Structure 1
């Protein structure tokens, strides 16, 4: 029987890493896709998501500019 405990631990640790990256100012998007990557791959997946966001390849949180008018 497969235990869900490792997936839950990976998800929590990955979410903590993504939140810490956001607090540090790296602007990583926290979404279902990033959480699934962290859940399946674990800490290396979270680091990969942070690196991809850092280099603006994927998962970068974007701000919508306010039009002055």
Structure 2
């Protein structure tokens, strides 16, 4: 086994990109804003933005999930 200091280990995300703790605003918009802009949270934000854009344009919305 080889040990590597955390400071030298390559990471997918930086600590600054982590989620923020919830503030006094408990709205869905504040929740989305508190999510980190990395990995699946980034994808979730893109889906939410697309749904909002479609709804404002009075367009249909189809969301598919799979695994």
Give TM-score scaled by structure 1 length: 0.34
Higher relative contact order, structure no. (Cα contacts within 8 Å, ≥ 6 residues apart):
1
Structure with the largest fraction of helix: 1
Answer with 1 or 2: which has the greater Rg: 2
Give TM-score scaled by structure 2 length: 0.35
